[in-house]
Structure 1
Amino acid sequence: MMKIHPIQSSPVEASTGEGKTSTYLTTEKKSFTIWMRSLVFHSKGCTVFDSNGNLIYRVDNYDSKSCSEVYLMDLYGEVLFKFQQTVGLFKSCKGDNSTGTRFTLRKNFKISPRSSSSSYKVIMGSSKDDVQSCYKIVSRGLVFTIEDGSGRLMAEVNKKQSDISGLEFGEDILTMVVEPQVDHSFIMGIVIAYSLLKCKL
């Protein structure tokens, strides 16, 4: 069977660093549909569409027994982010792209006994210094939000519902709403890292 292999370069600037712009930067609130399935037969992954039904992102993991190295690609198969998981007691997932954006996602173990939610912190760069934690995921079951360091909402992911009847789809079909002036390729990178840690890919 023919396989689609990722290309190890990206023509877009998906960095969140200062002085760099991104072709994925939102000018208004945008909605995406995440289908936690690969379009490639017998492959794990996910497929992401915009509000017009156009394919935007995809993840295809041909080795269903291993997700130690996963790629987030655009519709042309060009790599936007590469992800690697660390094993051990405190699991984490590292993501990086060709423009220099690097982050590590790991669970925040500061547990509040009164809270039913869990949180994950995004540490920018290669340092393990918690001061560099600029973003966080707050999870409440299937719903989770991505916030910046000041608590500003950047994106929300929820189960997708039908616009007409309010009918819910399966748990593998999600809606991601990204706020204005946010790089949605970077947000998608955080979502993929989170899904890997949650064993959803």
Structure 2
Amino acid sequence: MVKIHPDKALIPRVSVAGKDKASPFLTTEKETFTIWMRSLVFHTKGCTVFDSKGNLIYRVDNYSSKSFTEVYLMDLYGEILFTLHQKKSGIFKSWEGYNSSGTRFHLRKSFKISPTCSSSSYKVVMGPGGSDDKQSCYRIVNRGSKFTIEDGSGRLMAEVKKKQSNVNGLEFGEDVLTMVVEPQVDHSFIMGIVIAYSLLRCKL
């Protein structure tokens, strides 16, 4: 069986070298993460995220066996980084995310006709409500086996795809993903968007 992460004990909380102290989740260079769409807590749904060194960075643990409308993105120590809440208007569902520092976003499917049949897009609007198109927006573009997150100008912020393994020709399952985050991007915000996107598509 291919290892998703190295066998490491939980590391103590330390300051993050080389990063902005006011924003410890801000990338200084391109960073790669592994997303395992499973919780480490027995009998719960969720996901677990590791950095390139195999350290556990983020986790989502859902203790409810029934459908849920609120999910928490936490760090290694259980501190809530983003609260994600399901919104529903008629038959359309969307997810809203917010954190304690005031960052707020609203994710919904874009129903504009795609220039190609092989891709679909989702809109991330910043601010409460998420109904004003004049607000700052991001976009998720799904291209089948992978999806990208772009800012309003089309600049790539992150890419997520199935994780590949070159160890003895073995492959990871469909629930193991690689997320590459570009420099000068808050990867906790990106992870919040990824979780909301997975929830909207019933992948979590």
Output the TM-score relative to the length of structure 2: 0.85
Question: Offset of 1:78 from its aligned partner?
Answer: 0.2
% identity of equivalent residues: 78
Q: Which runs of 5+ in 1 are unaligned?
A: 1-19
Query: Match for residue 74 of structure 2?
Result: 73
> How does 1:35-46 map onto structure 2 within 5 Å?
35-46=36-47
User: What's the counterpart of residue 142 of structure 2?
Assistant: 139
What CA deviation, in whole Å up to 9, does each residue of 1:83-125 have, x standing for no partner? Answer: 1112332211000011100000000000136332010010000
Structure 1 stretches of at least 4 aligned residues deviating more than 3 Å after TM superposition: 163-168
Pick one of 102, 112, 115 that aligns with 2:114. 112
Give yes or no for contact 1:72–1:189 (8 Å, CA) kept in 2: yes
Structure 1 contact 159–168 (Cα < 8 Å) conserved: no
Unaligned runs of 5+ in 2: 1-20
> What secondary structure, in the 3-state scheme, does the structure 2 residue paired with 1:195 have?
helix
AA matched with 1:64: S
In 2, the alpha carbon distance for the partners of 1:163 and 1:104 equals 37
Q: How does 1:10-25 map to 2 (within 5 A)?
A: 21-25=22-26
TM-score by length of 1: 0.86
Question: C-alpha displacement at 1:130, in angstroms?
Answer: 1.2
Distance in structure 2 (CA, Å) of the matches to 1:165 and 1:105: 39
CA distance in 2, matches of 1:111, 1:156: 22
Contact 1:135 1:146 in 2 (8 A): yes
Matches of 1:28 and 1:119, distance apart in 2? 26
